[in-house]
Amino acid sequence: MTPVQIQSVENPLTRAAIFIVVTVKPDAASLETVRGLFGNMGSLLRGVGFRNPDDSLTCVTGIGSDLWDRLGQPQRPAGLHPFRAIHGVHDAPSTPGDILFHIRAQGRDFCFELATQIMRQLGDAVEVQDETQGFKFFDNRDLLGFVDGTENPQGIALGASVLIGDEDPAFRGGSYVITQKYIHDLTKWDALTVEDQERVIGRHKLSDIEYPDSEKAPYAHNVLTSINDAEGNQLQILRDNMPFGRPAAAEFGTYFIGYACEPARTERMLDNMFIGDPPGNYDRILDVSTPVTGSLFFVPSMTLLEALADPPEPAPAGTADDTADDHAQADDTAAPADGSLRIGSLKQET
């Protein structure tokens, strides 16, 4: 079977990032402009990144549920749906988003240049819903002072946690990503003692060592975001969070971005945080951190992303029922018209 080139979801954390979320205007010309960008993403990455390969420039492109429908593909990723707002002790909003660009590099200049080229090509075909520029803060700490991403999966567990596999063979090598932009009340946070802050997070602030399970508060962040499947196996996600802020405007925050092979595990973690497990036992970090955005995206393989540049061919007359039946059964022996979903081994995009 034809190998598939995956997007750079698994790449290591970098010192800089730009997160851009846009919606696509409803006219046909705007959709064609977006298709053109999808087909040109690899070229843009190479054109900007060649200046210094050591800067590790990458861009992960995610597609929202509404835009996927507009693209008219014959099949749909099993887990793709709009971000579900959460109403609990604290609320998590659902905000518009058709495309996510997660741009990463060691230098902010490379992030800036790639973002400029992407937005120049899109022109007025899109409306920007959010642009956030992130940076690495000291030794991978967030602006609350704690190391972020300590429990990210490593090695074989990373691919198993992040990449879609045989459970949805038409989209093997893809991923799902949920993003939320949190604003911190640092005055309120800094009024807590270090010991109280550590109880909220569930680990020591200076050393980054976890509290023993017997000493963790039931509402600790690392208790509520640690989940298992029915067999007791831990379900992990990849967090690539970044601090952001504008000190002169007293704006301080964390851009949460979590990749997973299925969105349900990230959604379960968020339910635990906002509603509580059991209900009412919510994550106390939310007393000082407020989400202002919330979106869910499917991350296609690079092979599929570039194939989306071409509209799908219409089904031959008289085969509509057969096509619908094939879609409902999700038969991995059925080949789409463009041939792009016949996926075999995985190849990392560079």
Q: What pLDDT, on the 0 to 100 scale, is given for residue 70? A: 97
Query: Is 223 part of a structural domain of the chain?
Result: no
* Half-sphere CA count of 347, side-chain side, radius 13 A: 12
Span between the terminal Cα atoms of the chain, in Å: 21
Number of domains in the chain: 1
148 is catalytic: yes
Q: Which of 164-168, 228-232, 312-316, 335-339 has the lowest mean pLDDT?
A: 335-339
Query: Is 63 part of a structural domain of the chain?
Result: yes
Q: What is the pTM of this model?
A: 0.88
Query: Is 189 part of a structural domain of the chain?
Result: no
Query: Is 6 part of a structural domain of the chain?
Result: no
Bridge partners of 178?
Answer: 258, 296
- Cα(283)–Cα(23) distance, rounded to whole angstroms? 31
| Assigned token pair, 290 | 């407020």
- Cα(162)–Cα(56) distance, rounded to whole angstroms? 20
Q: Which of 137-151, 301-315, 318-332 has the lowest mean pLDDT?
A: 318-332
Classify each residue of 17-55 as buried b or exposed e, where b means 16 or more C-beta atoms within 10 Å of its C-beta: bbbbbbbbbeeeebbebbeebbebbbebbeebbeeeeeb
Query: Is 144 part of a structural domain of the chain?
Result: yes
Question: Which domain covers residue 299, as residue numbers?
Answer: 12-184+235-333
Check whether 155 has a pLDDT greater than 70: yes
- pLDDT (tens digit per residue) in 261-290: 999 999 999 999 999 999 999 999 999 999
Query: Is 82 part of a structural domain of the chain?
Result: yes
pLDDT above 70: percentage of residues in the chain = 89
Query: Is 226 part of a structural domain of the chain?
Result: no
192 secondary structure, DSSP code: S
Taking all residues of the chain, what is their mean pLDDT, rounded to a whole number?
90
Catalytic annotation, pick one of 98, 148, 271, 283: 148
